[in-house]
Each structure stands twice: as C-alpha cells, then as structure tokens.
Structure 1
Amino acid sequence: MTGVAVAGSIVGGQVDIYSDVDLIVVIDDDAFDAVMKERFMLIGSWASLVAGFTGEHVGEPRLIITLVGPPLLHVDFKFVRAADFAERVEESDILWDRDGGLADVLAEHPPTSPSPDLQWIEDRFWIWVHYGATKLGRGELLEVIGFLSYLRETVLGPLAAVRVGAAPRGVRHLESIAPDEAGDLQATLCGHNRHDAGQALLASIELYRRWLGETGAAIERRRHAEKLAVQYLHDVIDVAS
C-alpha cells in the first residue's frame, strides 16, 4: 500500500451524522492485481466489516461499498493504482503517504469535474418522453413514478447543478446548493395518480426546455422528435382525462 486519502463530504466540509466516508486506497502498480483479489479480507482486517459489495453498478469495479460497525457507518473503499491516483473528479486529502509523494501528485493534477453531455441528453430525451407516455397510457403508474425519478437523476438534477455552478451529482444536495431549482423540481413529483403523473411529465418537459435553453449550449435540437413526442403525451393525457 502506497497511501490512503479521503474524499467526499469530509473534504468538502459538509459532513454530518448521516455522511458516509469515502476512502481512496493507493496501491503499488505491481501489487494491484493481487490486492484486488484480497480486498474484502483486507477491509475486514481494518474494520468490523458487516457487509460489502463491489461497485460495478456505478461503473466503478475498483470500489467496495461497505457497512462497518456497530455503530453502523457507510464506508466506500476505492482501490486505485498509484499511477491512476491523480485521476479524480473531486478534491481529496491525504491521510497517510508512505513515500511522501502523493501530495505532489495532487498538486500537479487538479481534479476535473465532469459536465453533463447535453447533446447526449437531447438525443435521448424525447424518446424517453414517449416511453413515459406509453406507460402512463397503459396505467403503469409505478413505472411512470420510477421514470420521473430517472429524469430527475439523469437530466434535471445535473442541469440544476449547472445553473448554480456546482458539479453534477444527480439530485444530491440540490436542496442546499440549488434551493430554487429544487423547489421547481417539486412539480415533477407525483403520487399513484394518473392525472398527477401526466402533469409531472409535462412539468419535466417544461423544466428541461427552459433549463437547457438557458445554458446557451450549441447543440442540435431534435425539434421534430420533440413536437411528435409532446403531442403524443398530450394525446395520452387527453384520453385518460
């Protein structure tokens, strides 16, 4: 092991009693493959491991997501090669540095915060709207509720963060970093009610149009798909009324 760093809310100064702990475990390059096979055993030797699993679902197989304790604490252990330590999207603080070189690596390579790919979103958004409309028309309201959550997480939350100059992290911390936008997003919530679900879909479209337009981004808008998908949604809502 070369070093250990901490990231997340602890570094950002936003920690509270509900915060998890994000640890980065830096491994010598030539030992990395062997360590990857022993991660659970190592974590169990460092803390009272209650449960844990790997992070493929978030696109990060190097990550082990755990509960340790009691008292229960969520701790994420991200194992990285020393050569990859500088690649990061947020600041981190070094807790232990075997050779004293990790601080220099961080200073030379600042974090790069990802921005939402607005063209990627626009290419998909109106197909997603049609999908949500079909589920509404079929009466699959639980599916619509889940779909609205997906839109907030994938599209509207990141756009809200961009509006206030924050890093996009789904809908994380929006109530504190973007309170006005979080208030607007309440219109995209609904219960198990067909009328309310239709209105929440329309509200999602309106916020997307407004917030995307205000970015001033030079992207190719899919106007034909937009017109047809929105009309389809209105037709479904009218039939359900």
Structure 2
Amino acid sequence: MQPHLKPFQLFITKAIEHIEQDPDTVGLAAGGSWASGEVDAYSDLDLVLVTNRKIAPDLSLMQEYAAGLGLMLASFRGDHVGEPRLLIALFESSLLHVDIKFLTPDEFYDRVEDPIVLWEREQTLTNIIQQSSAHYPPFDFQWTEDRFWIWAHYAALKVGRGEYFEAIDFLAFVRNAVLGPMLHLKNSSLPRGVRRAETTFGVAELSQLRRTVAMPERDVLVSSLWEVMYLYESLRDALAPATFQKNSAAQLAVTRYVAAL
C-alpha cells in the first residue's frame, strides 16, 4: 500500500467494523478522489453511507452515527452547499477530513457519480449501480447568461463605491460558479468550479484565469473585471449550444459602464 493511502484505509477498515454491527446499514461507498484514483496526502474522504433507517437530515442522528466511526473533533451539516444529508467532519486519526452522505437505498439511485463500493449487504449498492446511471448536474449556459451581466455590473458598482474587498469576493464567486466550470467543459472534464484547475487547464488558460484575481485596489480590480468579462465572452461563444440566446443589450450596456469607471 502506498504510504499516503494508509490513513484512509485504516479509517475505512475501522468504519466497516463499526457499521457491520448495525443491521440497518446496507452499504458503504467512497466517491471523489478515492473513486477516481486521484487520492493524495491532502485529499479528503467522500463517503456514502446507505441505511434502511432514515438518518439525514437529522443532525443529531448524523453526528451520533459518525461518532462511532472514530474520534470526531468537529462536524457540521452541508446546508451551505444545499445538501442537508451531508455531514462534514474532522476526525482525530491523521486529522482526516471526511464527508459522509447519509442516504436510504431509494435515494442512492439519484447520484452524480458511481462510487467505489467498500462494503455492502446482499449486493445492495452494486445492484442499484447496475440498474441506474449517475448524472452530474450539467452547466446551464442560458441560466448563466441571464445572470452574468447583472453580476458584472454589481461588481462594477462595488469597485465604484470603493468596496474593494466586496468586489474581490464577488469576482471569486464568478470565477468559481462560471469561469471555472466553463474552462473544465472546454477541457472535457466535469464543471466542478476551479477544482484541480492547476492540473486540468492549459498554460494559456491558467494565465487568463490568474488575471481575474485582484488586489484591493481600484485599477487592479477594474482590470480584473475586464478579464472576467473577456474570458466569459470567449468561452460562452465557443461552448454555448445552438439554442443559446445572448443578452447583447445587457452586455453592451455593462461594457460601457465598466469603461466609464
């Protein structure tokens, strides 16, 4: 076993020993970097725990179950990512970050990826995976276009008012919600924000993305906003489907507004 895998495997082994004692638990699977074979020393562990007894979204039940997997230092529910069935936890063993999604067998049919089954009763998870397909949420170009120029104008307002840190945060949001996913699509990968951008995007693309990162200074922020708009426009025109409708009027108005800053 490779050294960096040992903490993960030790945790999984102890977790299985615990859940085997619960007759309501039917399976444990791992997604994310474990499923893709990209685990390194800085990875977290994405687990899917499937039980006949509905545990989520009851936070106390989720924490009670997770506490049996190891010494848990802290945990909270994934409400901030719209997933109340997810418990995000930090375990003392190797200071391991573990995300645990609590599902019932019926809920396991609806998934964004096919995880690696670590343990199961009566082939429950394997059968569900064979009977259904994983679907990662697609990037919605029209939804993005309908919002992008309002977002760009909002960033410009913050720069104009001198709220530079607010503008920086907003540009980071656009980078994660719009530019990163589009660059991933361009590189034939899943639209996962700016995850693994450094190893997925090309040299020229990374250079473009770097220019969207600003310091809290007016001229730098204006320049970064221009770069955000340029990059969005080029990716949109290259990737959007034929049914896509540009909002040319909003784009022109916002472009003129930024030019006058």
TM-score bracket, normalised by the shorter chain, equals: over 0.9
Aligned CA distance change for structure 1 residues 51 and 228 (closer, same or farther; 3 Å) = same
- Equivalent pair of 2:56/2:84 in contact (CA under 8 Å): no
Residue 20 of structure 1 pairs with residue 44 of structure 2: yes
Higher relative contact order, structure no. (Cα contacts within 8 Å, ≥ 6 residues apart): 1
Aligned-residue offset at 1:67: 0.2
One-letter amino acid of the structure 1 residue matched with residue 127 of structure 2: D
AA aligned opposite 2:63: F
Count residues with an aligned counterpart.
234
Counterpart CA distance in 1 for 2:153 and 2:162 is 14
Supply the AA of the counterpart residue of 2:44. Answer: D
Q: Deviations over 1:71-108 (max 9, x none)?
A: 21100010011111121112201111112231121122
Question: Is residue 222 of structure 1 aligned with residue 247 of structure 2?
Answer: yes
Shift of 1:196: 0.8
Contact 1:89 1:114 in 2 (8 A): yes
Corresponding residue of 1:115: 138
Q: Which amino acid aligns with 2:41?
A: I
Find the counterpart in structure 2 of residue 64 from structure 1.
87
Equivalent residues in 2 for 1:89-128, closer than 5 Å:
89-128=112-151
Match of 1:10 in 2: 34
Whole-Å separation in 2 of the counterparts to 1:35 and 1:197: 41
C-alpha distance 34-79 of structure 1, shift in aligned 2 (>3 A): closer
SS at match of 1:171: coil
Q: Residues 133-144 of structure 1 correspond to what in structure 2 (within 5 A)?
A: 133-144=156-167
* Partner residue in 1 for 2:195: 172
Deviations 1:141-197, CA, capped at 9 Å, x for gaps: 111111110110111001001101111111011111123322320110111221111
Contact 1:64 1:77 in 2 (8 A): yes
Unaligned runs of 5+ in 2: 1-24
Instruction: Give the partner amino acid of 2:202.
Output: P
Structure 1: 5+ residue stretches without partners: 237-241
Partners of 2:113 and 2:84 in 1: how far apart? 19
Provide the residue aligned with 1:206 in structure 2.
Answer: 230
**Pairing 1:184–2:208 present:** yes
Q: Which residue of 2 aligns with 1:83?
A: 106
Aligned match of 1:161: 184
Report the 3-state secondary structure (helix = DSSP H, G, I; strand = E; otherwise coil) of the residue aligned with 2:130.
helix
TM-score by length of 2: 0.86
Say whether residues 1:232 and 2:257 are aligned partners: yes
| Cα separation, 1, equivalents of 2:121 and 2:131 | 19
Equivalent pair of 1:114/1:167 in contact (CA under 8 Å): no
| Aligned-pair CA distance for 1:129 | 1.0
- CA RMSD, aligned part only? 1.4
Q: Which SS does the other structure have where 2:68 is aligned?
A: helix
Decide which moves more: 97-106 or 140-149.
97-106
Q: Does the CA contact (< 8 Å) of 1:6 and 1:22 recur in 2?
A: yes
Q: Kindly, what percent of the aligned residue pairs are identical?
A: 36
Q: In the superposition, relative to structure 1, how do residues 27 and 89 fare at CA in structure 2: closer, same or farther (>3 Å)? A: same
Identify the residue that residue 131 of structure 1 maps to in structure 2. 154
Q: Provide the residue aligned with 1:32 in structure 2.
A: 54
* 2:27–2:124 Cα contact (<8 Å) kept: no
Instruction: Give 2:251's aligned amino acid.
Output: E
| C-alpha contact 1:88 1:111 (8 A) present in aligned 2 | yes
